[in-house]
Chain A
Amino acid sequence: MRALRYWSTYIAVLPFLVPTASYAWNMPIGVTDVSGDIYRLHMTIFWICVAIGLLVFGAMFYSLFRYRHAKGAKAAHFHENTLVEVLWTAIPVLILVAMAVPATATLKQMYDPSDADLDVMITGQQWRWRYEYMGENVAFTSSLSTPRVQISGEEKRGETYLLDVDNPLVLPVNRKVRFLMTSDDVIHSWWVPELAVKQDAVPGFINENWVRINEPGIYRGQCAELCGMDHGFMPVVVHAIEEKAFDEWIAERKAAAEKEISGIDRDWKLAELMERGQATYEAICVSCHQPGGKGSPPAFPALAGNEQLIADQAWHLDRVINGVSGAAMPAFRDTLNPVEIAAVVTYTRNAWGNDTGDVVQPSVVAEQVDQ
């Protein structure tokens, strides 16, 4: 087993030394034990296939060359031989068994999320991720932060084009982190190649997976299951940091969350809410309702100049808190806190010429959410 691993790693890297490291041609070795195992498994199977291929194609091209009609080859007439048939049934079976053994071992390891030090709930939403550090009272959403002008080509694309988010998932190294994956709408799939974690997030069900990262760093990935219009714009970014730094970070986030909740009861100013609301809008709502609230009818209604919205604040608030069942509009009662909801509703009621002048207070929202 050891020797096999050693050799396969050794042969594996050989042909891939040529291209530069930043320009990958092959699966990454990754930064976890599992990802390394998978990489070696991948290369082992690959080389076995290459070997079989060389044999088969070698024999084939030899025959094609040697027995050309044009060169006057006379055809033999044999057409059966039980012995070779048995052989070339049995030998592939043995090869497959040899492949199956390490594959089974790796799979078993991947399927053991027990004894985790930290649980993170990952929820897919069209089209962002929501992370919840369970038991820590820290939760946030993480959406694409690549500027739209780069996508449309009006601005030069950065190095991490399409792979940048506003709030990355922060994880400690050397700790076993268990992921609980689910979704609020359609199926998504959370994938970071370097962690060798890809798992479907199925609405209504929870899938488990886990990771123990060996090296600090920034690891990027993408949603890997078609989930609608912006499936291609749903990146994942993981910041793996030292354990101590992580503990500090989470304590900070916790404090900040508590502070925000405590602000619910006070009276908020329009300008404050507008600023807060704009941030929320641009992080969350923009993917469907588009910049400037234009929407993209008929699937996604415009919010700018939306008459019903302007006329009816209660209805507006209800749409955002409870969503529209049977349509893509999610309910935000659990994923945004009352301050954020109040802010974004205030913002949509006053931005883009909607100038209603309405100010929705977080306390009002909190009351409705609790119902």
Chain B
Amino acid sequence: MAKLPPKSMPLHSTPAAADGQLNTHTALPKGVMRWVLTTNHKEIGTLYLLFSLSMFFVGGVFALVVRAELFQPGLQLIDPEFFNQMTTMHGLIMVFAAVMPAFTGLANWMIPLQIGAPDMALPRLNNFSFWLLPVAFTLLLSTLLMPGGGPNFGWTFYAPLSTTYAPASTTFFILAIHIAGISSILGAINIIATILNMRAPGMRLMDMPLFVWTWLITAFLLIAVMPVLAGVITMMLMDINFGTNFFNAAGGGDPVLFQHLFWFFGHPEVYIMILPAFGIVSAIIPTFARKPLFGYTSMVYATAAIALLSFLVWAHHMFLVGLPLVAELFFMYSTMLIAVPTGVKVFNWVTTLFRGSISFEPPMLFALAFVVLFTIGGFSGIMLAIAPADFQYHDTYFVVAHFHYVLVPGAIFAIMAGAYYWLPKWTGHYPNERLAQWHFWLSVIGVNLTFFPMHFAGLAGMPRRIPDYALQFADFNMVSSIGAFFFGTSQLLFVIVVVICVRGGKKAPAKAWEGAEDLEWSVPSPAPLHTFERPPKFERSTS
């Protein structure tokens, strides 16, 4: 176990201390322990981002295993049992270990800087939240090595496949998700407390950058739905280990109950993965269009509307489980409504571009690709929302195409855009422009090559989560697989760009981008370990 820190250590970096009452910037522990014990929001942010990037590659390699097996019909590389484990782990890792921590990392780094706070509100909690993650995912990944294999029931782990018929390692899977969930809840509490309590004097809620707003709402979603996930996996745990009958009709339970609870969490979860992305894009587009964001207020309301609606639509994932007709209609209508606030956002971005003065640095490229490709993903979402049509789409590659469009060129591109946008602030250097552009163009081509054919495969009738398929799907799958390896390989470029950028490159001034307005650009680049120890004066940009 870690040695206990010297008694004076924790005092040193509490906000109270950072506020200047105890200004001892000495005695940082050296080496690994410095990172293990850090309570500094920037260092924790970096840890989150590095963790997420490495997990993105782990999840990506699992996806490549899946794509390799699907390259042509027949069983070539792996057996069906292992295929299911790969699909499941890919989904779980990407969702819980890549996208969510990436956003939390960005929040850690940028929210205090954007609101002029010296640190997060609860720094020690922050450290704890982070270190839960490696624990959770080491445990989750280790299930692959256990007898009977790891989780093989899809990232949605429907009962009773995940209870009565599950491999022995499922109990560990549940524990891992519990730990990751606690981490998310604590992280979200911290973010909310920071935003509500630590803003620079004079900054009202409606003065906050949109990234902060979207995160405030995301954090609310997290706190509202992660406990429900915890609840449902607890029931699973009971069904598996203590003989309860929650998901067993013989005892008066219902397998569909599992799905209701899961999707009550699961649908807001997908917005958890997209709202911060909206925030990032809303920061980048005005910067490079050199024009204030169009419709700030409506953006805030639209985000809130999406979040609230997201509690009412969960059963659109369950159109086929045999819901009563009224339920079916209710969930269809409410789901369709989400297009309205999302549309408002898209229109606002486009109008921000209109009559701007637009340049195409890497963050902007990714943000623009986000707008187009996310919208395409949204369109397929609307198609899925039409319940009768979903009877044909459900559980086919059409759904897989839909959610990869909103997640990969959606969430992942937004994260990339954010990374390119803020790298100068983090490292003091601009990322290499040429390499970044290569990265961008290869990614755009790769993503479409991978996921566009999946629409056709799905419509033509290919179910998801199958290791082998009928011959008429062969061509689509071959293209997808080639695209996947292409896209995956091009992500190595991103790592190269980041490494180069950390080590050197063109020096960035405090305000690294000409059109950037928010508070983070008022501190030097790279941002020193401690910023805003005296709260900045926030001046409203009048217009």
- Where the two chains meet, the residues of A that have a C-beta atom closer than 8 Å to any C-beta of B are 22-28, 37-38, 41-42, 45-46, 49, 52-53, 56-57, 59-60, 63-64, 67-70, 73-81, 84-85, 88-89, 92-93, 96, 99-100, 103-104, 106-108, 110-111, 126, 150-153, 157, 159-163, 185-187, 189, 191, 193, 196-200, 202-205, 207-208, 221-233, 296, 298-299, 326, 328
Contact = CB atoms under 8 A, between A and B. Distances in A.
Given A45-B383, A53-B376, A193-B461, A202 B256 contact: yes
B472 interface: yes
B355 A63 contact: yes
A107 B75 CA distance: 38
B355 A75 contact: yes
Given A38-B388, A38-B389, A80 B295 contact: yes
Contacts, number: 282
Contacts of B357: 67-69, 73-75
A329 to B, nearest CB: 11
B430 to A, nearest CB: 17
Given A68-B359, A161-B471, A232-B467, A203 B249 contact: yes
Contacts of B153: 226, 228
Given A159-B471, A205-B249, A226-B153, A84 B351 contact: yes
B80 interface: yes
B470 A80 contact: no
Contacts of A197: 391
B74 interface: yes
Interface in B276-314: 289-298
Nearest to B347: A88
Given A60-B353, A198-B394, A26 B339 contact: no
B389 A79 contact: no
Contacts of A230: 80
B81 interface: yes
B543 A79 contact: yes
A45 B389 contact: yes
Given A69-B359, A204-B249, A63 B354 contact: yes
Interface residues of B, number: 92
B375 A152 contact: no
Given A52-B379, A110-B391, A85 B344 contact: yes
Contact of A99 (B167, B358, B371, B386): B386
Contact of B296 (A24, A79, A93, A204): A79
23 contacts: A42-B386, A45-B383, A67-B356, A67-B358, A78-B294, A80-B297, A81-B294, A85-B298, A92-B340, A92-B343, A104-B332, A162-B470, A187-B160, A189-B394, A189-B395, A191-B395, A196-B391, A204-B248, A205-B256, A226-B464, A232-B467, A233-B468, A299-B81
Contacts of B543: 77, 79
A359 to B, nearest CB: 34
B249 A25 contact: no
B439 to A, nearest CB: 20
A75 B461 contact: no
Q: Which 7 A-B pairs have the closest CB atoms?
A: A204-B249, A232-B466, A207-B322, A69-B359, A49-B379, A75-B357, A76-B355
Given A27-B459, A89-B340, A328 B165 contact: yes
Contact of B337 (A22, A25, A96): A96
Interface of B: 73-76, 80-81, 84, 147-148, 152-154, 158, 160-161, 164-165, 167, 248-250, 254-256, 289-298, 320-322, 325, 328-329, 332-333, 336-337, 339-340, 343-344, 346-347, 350-359, 368, 371-372, 375-376, 379, 382-383, 386-389, 391-392, 394-396, 456, 459-461, 463-472, 543
Contact of A111 (B325, B343, B354, B389): B325
A226 B371 CA distance: 32
A4 to B, nearest CB: 15
Contacts of A59: 350, 354
Contact of B463 (A75, A77, A159, A222): A222
Given A92-B339, A226-B153, A231-B465, A202 B391 contact: no
Nearest to B318: A200
A92 B345 CA distance: 13
A169 B344 CA distance: 49
A103 B332 contact: yes
Nearest to B456: A25
Contacts of A196: 391-392
Contact of A157 (B152, B295, B471): B471
B321 A202 contact: yes
Contacts of B298: 85
